[in-house]
Amino acid sequence: MAQLDAVFFDIDDTLCATTAFAQRARRNAVHAMVAAGLRAREDVVYAELEDVIAEFSSNYEHHYDKLLLRLDAAAVEGLNPALVVAAGVAAYHDTKFRELSPFAGARELLAELRRSGLKVGIITHGLTVKQAEKLVRLGLVPHLDPQAVFISDQLGVAKPNPKLYQLALARTGVQADRALYVGDNPRNDIAPPQKLGMKTCWARLVGRHEAVAGIQADCEMTSFAELRTLLRERFGVPLEG
């Protein structure tokens, strides 16, 4: 008999390689800005952009505007800054259209979990529109319970506050010990749900986060094929081999 009624997933670096994608998209944006006339070396511009993002966060909406303010005035002399910024924004979004995709097997596993009768949901940190857009672009929305998608910005509770997970359980009517959370960050995705009694799986698909002393997930996975096996053999979820 299945030990679970619901499986919740993080998005970034759990369902898709967001970190690697963002780096490619930013490099393409910088290349486009230089091609649009920005007078600076691409490596210099990219390093400054990384500093802007570190200081203002990845969710800030005016990275490229701030970037131009920080470059030498000669870099934009005689240019319309709006056009340079627009070149960067367009290149970033073009990369998103072309390259953002789920990890191999993710879409198929979510679809099968829904067919098995489990609630399949999302608990993610970030801006509402940005996180929702990722789910749409990844093609995952048809495989999710629409009442089980929880975005921190939408709820006013951010990771690692356990209240985010508590709200998800309360609104879906799922008992903590009957829910599994899959995420890549031990501090944000493993420790908080464990405090509530949820089962946890550390998604180690990109190797971005190291192990943290005192935080031990119930299981780990490095691919969605491995997660499929764990769900079937450890948690009794009726999935195909």
Boundaries of every domain in the chain: 6-16+102-233, 19-99
Instruction: Decide if 6-16+102-233 and 19-99 have a common fold.
Output: no
- Amino acid letter, 224: F
Helix (H) or strand (E) run with residue 25 in it: helix 18-35
Residue, of 96 and 54, whose pLDDT is higher: 54
Residue 9 in this model has a pLDDT that exceeds 70: yes
Residue 156 in this model has a pLDDT that exceeds 90: yes
Point out which residues pair with 49 in neighbouring strands.
Answer: none
Task: Please state the rounded mean pLDDT for residues 83-93.
Answer: 97
- What is the rounded distance in angstroms from the CA atom of residue 101 to the CA atom of residue 11? 11
- Amino acid letter, 199: K
pLDDT-derived band at 199 (thresholds 50, 70, 90) equals very high
Task: Please state the rounded mean pLDDT for residues 150-177.
Answer: 97
CATH class of 19-99: mainly alpha
pLDDT-derived band at 1 (thresholds 50, 70, 90) equals low
CATH class of 6-16+102-233: alpha beta
Average pLDDT, the chain: 95
Residue 108: CB atoms within 10 A of its CB come to: 15
